C-alpha cells in the first residue's frame, strides 16, 4: 500500500489539494451565508455582495469536486495497472517452483480484483486526509463562533473515535476472510476448467460444481458480515451525530437568546456542527482505506516471495555444451528425490535419462536448465555454474521442449519462434519440418499465420510445435522432457533422427519413456534411489536384467522394439558422438 501510494504520490498530492479546496469552499460557505443573512436582516448594504460570494463558493465547491472525481478515477486505473504489471512480472520471475504456492486462479484474483482495490490506495488516502479536514475545520469554526459550541461537540468526539476504530477492525477481518474465500473459488474454477474433459467423461459435473462452490457459504457469511458492520456503524453514527448536532444547536440557541450569537451565527453553527460530526463520510473513507490495505496485503504476499536470482557471468566462447551435475540434492513435498547425484554429459552428446516413475527424471531435467534449483550441489554448463549466468545468457544457451507445451506467440509461427530472439521465417519453417509439423500447419487455411486459438491441434501436433520451437533456436543445450510421448512410432522415429542430425551439434538431454528413444542416445543415465545407478550406451545396459525390467511396463512390444531398433539407434547415436 505504501509502494502504491509512493507511485501515485504526484496525483495523490493533486487529489489532496483539490479535496482541501473543496473542503475549504464548503467551510467558507456557511460563514458567507451567515454574513449575508445578518446583513440582510440588519438592512445594511452589501447583502448582494455576500450572496454573490455564496454563489461563487458553491460553484468552486462543485468544480473542485468534479475535477477530483475525474482525477481519482484515472489515478485508480493507473495505480491498478502498475500493480498488475508488477505482480505479474514478479510472479513470472519466481519461476515454476517459486510460484507453486499460488494457484493460477488465486493469482488471477490478486491481479484483477485485489489490484483494483489496492490501486485505490492513493486516491483513498488523499480523500481520507481531505475528508478529515472537514470535521477539524468544522470544529475550529465552531470555536471561532463561540468556544462553548466547540466544547459541547468535543464531549462526544471520543465516542465517534471508538466507533470508527471498531468499524475498521471488524471490516478488515471480514474483508480478509472474504478475499481468501473468493480466491479459493477462483482457483478451483480454473482447475475444473482445465479438467473439463475428464469431468465430462467421469460424469462428475455436480460433484465438481459442489467442490468449486464449497467456499461460497464462507464468502456469503463474510459478505453479510461486512454489510452488518457497515450497517451498525452507520446506524450508530446516525444516532450519535444528530444528538451532537442538537446539543450544539441548543447551546447556540441559548447564546442567541442571550444576544451572544447572531441569527446568521446560529445558521453557521448548525452547518459546522454537521461538518464536525459527519461520521458517515468518515466511515466511507475508512472503508476504502481498509479495503485497499487488505488487498495490498494479498499482493504483498506474492511480492514478498523471493524471485530467481541471476548472476552476471557469461559462458566461454566457443563452448561445447558440457553439462555437469555435482552432488545435486533435492527434496519435494518432504521426500528426498535426488541424493548427491553426480553426472557428466560430454559436449555435443545425447543423454537419455531413464528410470521408474518418481525417480526424479523431470526434476533433473528442470535443474539441468535451471527451471529449478537444487537444495544442495551445483549444476555447471561449460564450467560455469548456472546460478552465475545472466538470465538472457542462460535462456539463449538452453532450449526446452515439454510434454505439454504452451501455445505462446499469437500465431503458430509466433509459437515456433517464441524465445529470447525471434528466428528468421526460413528458420521457423525448417524447424517445423524437422519436428514433422510443417505438413499439418500448411493444411490450415492461414498456414503459419493461423492464430493459436483457432488451431484445432491434437496432443501429438501440439508436441510437434513444442519440438519445432526447441529446434528453431540456437544454443548449447537442448532438453526434452518427455516431449515425444504423444507421437506415433513413425513420427517419433523421424523426430529422433532430426534430433540427432539437425540439432546444431548441441548437447541433448532427453527424458525417455521408450526403449527406442534410449537406444538412439549416445549415453543412458539410469536413475534409481536418487542417484545414477548406471551410465552407458543402451545396448550395454540392456544386458542387465533389472534395466530390461524398466521397459516391461511399456506398451506391448516395447522391449522388443527397443531391441529391434537398437542397432539403428546405436548407429545414429554413434554417428552423433563427438
The whole-angstrom separation of Cα 132 and Cα 337 is 59
CA-closest candidate to residue 344, choices 372, 361, 323, 321:
323
Are the beta carbons of 23 and 275 closer than 8 angstroms?
no
Domain definitions of the chain by residue range: 2-303, 323-576
Query: Rounded distance, CA 118 to CA 297, Å?
Result: 9
- Check: pTM over 0.85? Answer yes or no: no
Torsion of CA 117, 122, 123, 124, to 10 degrees: 60
The most distant pair of C-alpha atoms in the chain lies apart, rounded to whole Å, by 119
Grid cell of 259 as nine digits? 444576544
Which ranges of the chain have pLDDT less than 70? 163-164, 234-240, 277-283, 501-504, 553-578
The pLDDT tens digits for 463-519 are 889 888 888 888 899 999 888 777 878 888 888 777 776 555 789 999 988 888 888
What's the burial of 540, exposed, middle or buried (CB within 10 Å: 0-12/13-18/19+)? middle
128-148 tens-digit pLDDT = 888 878 888 888 888 888 888
pLDDT of amino acid 239: 65
* pLDDT tens figures, 77-111: 999 999 999 999 998 888 887 887 888 888 888 88
Three-state SS at 345: strand
CA distance 61 to 58: 5
The predicted pLDDT at position 405 comes to 85
pLDDT of residue 503: 53
Q: If one looks up domain 2-303 in CATH, what number appears?
A: 1.20.1560.10
pLDDT of residue 504: 56
CATH domain 323-576 topology: Rossmann fold (3.40.50)
Q: Which residue is associated with the grid cell 549444476?
A: 379
The DSSP letter of residue 313 is B
Burial class (CB in 10 A: 0-12, 13-18, 19+), 91: buried
**Which one, of 113, 226, 110, 124, lies nearest residue 172 by Cα?**
226
Amino acid at each position: 500500500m505504501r509502494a502504491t501510494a509512493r507511485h501515485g504520490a504526484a496525483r495523490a498530492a493533486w487529489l489532496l489539494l483539490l479535496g482541501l479546496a473543496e473542503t475549504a469552499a464548503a467551510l467558507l460557505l456557511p460563514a458567507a451565508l451567515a454574513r449575508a443573512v445578518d446583513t440582510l436582516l440588519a438592512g445594511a448594504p452589501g447583502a448582494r455582495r455576500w450572496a454573490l460570494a455564496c454563489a461563487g463558493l458553491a460553484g468552486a465547491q462543485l468544480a473542485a469536486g468534479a475535477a477530483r472525481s475525474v482525477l481519482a478515477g484515472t489515478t485508480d486505473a493507473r495505480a491498478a495497472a502498475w500493480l498488475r504489471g508488477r505482480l505479474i512480472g514478479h510472479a513470472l520471475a519466481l519461476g515454476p517452483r517459486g510460484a507453486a504456492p499460488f494457484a493460477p486462479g488465486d493469482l488471477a484474483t490478486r491481479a484483477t480484483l485485489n489490484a483494483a482495490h489496492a490501486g485505490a490506495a492513493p486516491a483513498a488516502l488523499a480523500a481520507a486526509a481531505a475528508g478529515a479536514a472537514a470535521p477539524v475545520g468544522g470544529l475550529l469554526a465552531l470555536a471561532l463562533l463561540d468556544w462553548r459550541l466547540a466544547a459541547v461537540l468535543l464531549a462526544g468526539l471520543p465516542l465517534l473515535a471508538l466507533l470508527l476504530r471498531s468499524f475498521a477492525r471488524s471490516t478488515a477481518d471480514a474483508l480478509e476472510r472474504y478475499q481468501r474465500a473468493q480466491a479459493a473459488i477462483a482457483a478451483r474454477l480454473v482447475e475444473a476448467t482445465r479438467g473439463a474433459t475428464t469431468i465430462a467423461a467421469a460424469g462428475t459435473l455436480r460433484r465438481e460444481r459442489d467442490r468449486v462452490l464449497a467456499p461460497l457459504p464462507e464468502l456469503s457469511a463474510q459478505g453479510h458480515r461486512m454489510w452488518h458492520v457497515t450497517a451498525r456503524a452507520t446506524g450508530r453514527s446516525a444516532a450519535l451525530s444528530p444528538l451532537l448536532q442538537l446539543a450544539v444547536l441548543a447551546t447556540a440557541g441559548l447564546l442567541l437568546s442571550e444576544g451572544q450569537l447572531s441569527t446568521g451565527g446560529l445558521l453557521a453553527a448548525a452547518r459546522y456542527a454537521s461538518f464536525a460530526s459527519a461520521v458517515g463520510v468518515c466511515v466511507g473513507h475508512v472503508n476504502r482505506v481498509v479495503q485497499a490495505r487488505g488487498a495490498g496485503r494479498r499482493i504483498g504476499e506474492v511480492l514478498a516471495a523471493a524471485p530467481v536470482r541471476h548472476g552476471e557471468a557469461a559462458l566461454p566462447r566457443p563452448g561445447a555444451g558440457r553439462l555437469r551435475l555435482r552432488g545435486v540434492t533435492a527434496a519435494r513435498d518432504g521426500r528426498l528425490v535426488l541424493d548427491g547425484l553426480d553426472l557428466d554429459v560430454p559436449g555435443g552428446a545425447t543423454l537419455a535419462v531413464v528410470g521408474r516413475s518418481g525417480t526424479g527424471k523431470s526434476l533433473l531435467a528442470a535443474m539441468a536448465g535451471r527451471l529449478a534449483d537444487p537444495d544442495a550441489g551445483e549444476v555447471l554448463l561449460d564450467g560455469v555454474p548456472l546460478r552465475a549466468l545472466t538470465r538472457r545468457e542462460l535462456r539463449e544457451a538452453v532450449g526446452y521442449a515439454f510434454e505439454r507445451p504452451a501455445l505462446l506467440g499469437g500465431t503458430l509461427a509466433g509459437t515456433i519462434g517464441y524465445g529470447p530472439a525471434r528466428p528468421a521465417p526460413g528458420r521457423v519453417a525448417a524447424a517445423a519440418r524437422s519436428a514433422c509439423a510443417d505438413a499439418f500447419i500448411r493444411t490450415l487455411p492461414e498456414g503459419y499465420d493461423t492464430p493459436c486459438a483457432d488451431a484445432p491441434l491434437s496432443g501429438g501436433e501440439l508436441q510437434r510445435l513444442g519440438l519445432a520451437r526447441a529446434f528453431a533456436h540456437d544454443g548449447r543445450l537442448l532438453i526434452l522432457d518427455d516431449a515425444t510421448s504423444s507421437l506415433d512410432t513413425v513420427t517419433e522415429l523421424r523426430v529422433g533422427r532430426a534430433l540427432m542430425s539437425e540439432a546444431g551439434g548441441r548437447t541433448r538431454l532427453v527424458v525417455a519413456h521408450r526403449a527406442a528413444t534410449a537406444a538412439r542416445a549416445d549415453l543412458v543415465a539410469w536413475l534409481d534411489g536418487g542417484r545414477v545407478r548406471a551410465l552407458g550406451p543402451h545396448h550395454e545396459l540392456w544386458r542387465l536384467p533389472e534395466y530390461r525390467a524398466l521397459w516391461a511396463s511399456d506398451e506391448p512390444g516395447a522391449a522388443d522394439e527397443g531391441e529391434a531398433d537398437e542397432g539403428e539407434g546405436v548407429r545414429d547415436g554413434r554417428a552423433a558422438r563427438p
